[in-house]
């Protein structure tokens, strides 16, 4: 019998079980925490680690973890339910804009403009997504684009994996090379006690080299698939994917609608929605609630504007049905987010998160500059599997690891760069990162196939990061 790789839900639930078992054997401990005025939250105090009473997690805690991943049952505070709700509303918004034909019409215009040169879609889109990643850590927001980009790639002769790679690698590499990302670079720099502009040159170098490598890698794969579809890693799913992403209900390949003035207006409104979202996140401190409200409002505005033209008009009942069906399409993605967050919930409840961090802290004594910064990179890589949130990892690790740079003759900003590079690299494939599992679920790409596709690029990017950090540790920049 041929082995079938388990689903994302099974993988994540098994990881919850493994972490729960560890809470029975790993000594429990905590750092004393104090409120940081700069960060507006409590941070660990270096040198204050102490043992606490063991709190092993049992079978009931394992079953409760996916639920607790959404919200804290004791306090009612949100953990990931706001992200899950955001995903559902984005699904509804996307379904409404798709119903008007504006996106498909825009796709047709883009395809016609690049006819015979469709491969250039890849660097254009990956660069755009990377800009979102480097500026504000674009992650959950990217889930809205899969249903748009994947049909583009299929029509261009590529496969769904190409579409997933364009978004996931574009955003991920951008985040890996964050420049003024408030949720990674700024928070980590504040926690490390340095201006976030320190180390900017090195981060730009990492961003440019990694993005260039990613673009060339995806273009090479896409061209190979176009020349010979059997070379696709998801070749056996090709007909199902075409049926799912390109064909109408009668089973025929749907023709792209005409790009009318109203559809151009609605497509502009679609783009404006994300511009407003960027403005809100970067300058107004918006997060999931505000972004969800924005997409809900824009869905309603799209429907109202569409009523002024016969080709985009539909009634109130159809609008509600379309929105609900769009949300339903991303329900699996929303559930995965909670399950993934449940892993961290079990670790925190079992009091082993700080113990793991404390154990790794002892690795740094007596190391040279190059060895020190690369050891920091390895430690942050390990921690990123346990704490995929960039802001969460910054608050947890920077107050403890950044001061160690003073004794190693390395600037603290280099530790910040190592942290964000490690976190960004891991989140290109981390099974505990909801954005990875959610994006793969939308694109119908199994996790094992994603690993098969991406591992050579991961090695290339790791070499780039290590080389740049080593150069920086020797005083290169």
Q: Residue 67 falls within a domain, yes or no?
A: no
Domain total in the chain: 1
User: Among positive and negative, which fits the CA dihedral 384, 389, 393, 394?
Assistant: positive
Residue 70 lies in a domain: no
- Three-state SS for 29? strand
Q: How far is CA 257 from CA 245, 246, 300, in A?
A: 15, 13, 22
Does the pTM surpass 0.75? The reply is no
pLDDT tens digits, one per residue of 412-430: 899 999 999 999 999 999 8
Q: How far apart are CA 176 and CA 421, in angstroms?
A: 5
Domain membership of residue 318 (yes or no) is yes
Residue 74 lies in a domain: no
pLDDT at 360: 65
Cβ–Cβ under 8 Å, residues 241 and 229:
no
The 3-state DSSP class for residue 247 equals strand
Q: Which domain holds residue 142?
A: 81-333+353-476
| Residue 28 maps to a domain | no
Does 18 fall in a domain?
A: no
Residue 196 in domain: yes
Reported as a pLDDT band with limits 50, 70 and 90, residue 155 is confident
- The secondary structure element, H or E, covering residue 402 is none
At 326-350, the pLDDT tens digits run 898 778 767 877 777 787 789 889 9
Residue range 242-250: average pLDDT?
71
Q: pLDDT per residue over 20-56, tens digit each? A: 999 999 999 988 877 766 545 566 777 788 999 999 9
100-130 pLDDT tens trace: 988 778 767 777 777 778 888 899 889 988 9
Is residue 187 situated within a structural domain?
yes
């Amino acid at each position: 019998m041929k082995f079938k790789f388990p689903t994302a839900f099974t993988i994540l639930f098994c990881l919850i079980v493994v972490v729960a078992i560890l809470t029975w054997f790993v000594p429990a401990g905590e750092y004393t925490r104090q409120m940081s005025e700069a960060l507006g939250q409590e941070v660990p105090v270096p040198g204050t680690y102490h043992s606490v009473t063991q709190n092993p997690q049992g079978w009931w805690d394992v079953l409760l973890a996916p639920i607790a991943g959404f919200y804290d049952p004791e306090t009612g505070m949100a953990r990931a339910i706001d992200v899950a709700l955001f995903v559902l509303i984005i699904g509804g918004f996307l379904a409404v804009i798709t119903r008007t034909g504006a996106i498909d019409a825009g796709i047709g215009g883009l395809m016609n403009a690049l006819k015979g040169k469709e491969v250039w879609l890849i660097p254009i889109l990956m660069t755009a997504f990377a800009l979102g990643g480097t500026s504000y850590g674009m992650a959950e927001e990217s889930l809205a684009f899969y249903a748009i980009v994947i049909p583009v790639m299929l029509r261009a002769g590529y496969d769904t994996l190409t579409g997933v790679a364009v978004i996931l690698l574009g955003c991920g590499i951008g985040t890996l090379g964050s420049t003024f990302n408030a949720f990674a670079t700024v928070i980590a720099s504040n926690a490390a006690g340095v201006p976030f502009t320190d180390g900017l040159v090195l981060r730009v170098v990492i961003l440019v080299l990694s993005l260039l490598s990613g673009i060339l890698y995806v273009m090479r794969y896409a061209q190979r698939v176009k020349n010979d579809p059997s070379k696709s890693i998801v070749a056996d799913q090709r007909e199902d994917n075409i049926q799912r992403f390109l064909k109408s209900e009668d089973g025929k390949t749907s023709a792209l609608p005409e790009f009318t003035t109203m559809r151009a207006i609605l497509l502009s409104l679609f783009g404006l929605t994300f511009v407003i979202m960027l403005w809100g996140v970067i300058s107004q401190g918006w997060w999931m609630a505000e972004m969800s409200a924005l997409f809900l409002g824009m869905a309603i505005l799209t429907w109202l504007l569409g009523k002024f033209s016969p080709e985009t008009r539909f009634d109130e009942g159809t609008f509600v049905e379309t929105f609900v069906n769009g949300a339903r399409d991303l329900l699996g993605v929303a559930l995965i987010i909670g399950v993934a967050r449940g892993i961290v919930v079990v670790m925190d409840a079992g009091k082993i998160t700080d113990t793991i961090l404390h154990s790794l802290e002892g690795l740094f004594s007596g190391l040279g500059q190059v060895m020190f910064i690369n050891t920091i990179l390895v430690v942050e890589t390990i921690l990123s599997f346990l704490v995929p949130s960039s802001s969460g990892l910054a608050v947890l690790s920077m107050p403890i690891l950044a001061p160690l740079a003073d004794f190693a003759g390395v600037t603290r900003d280099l530790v910040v760069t190592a942290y964000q590079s490690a976190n960004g690299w891991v989140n290109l494939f981390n099974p505990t990162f909801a954005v990875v599992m959610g994006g793969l679920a939308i694109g119908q790409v199994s996790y094992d196939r994603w690993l098969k596709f991406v591992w050579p690029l991961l090695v290339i990017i790791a070499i780039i990061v290590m080389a740049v950090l080593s150069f920086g540790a020797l005083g290169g920049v």
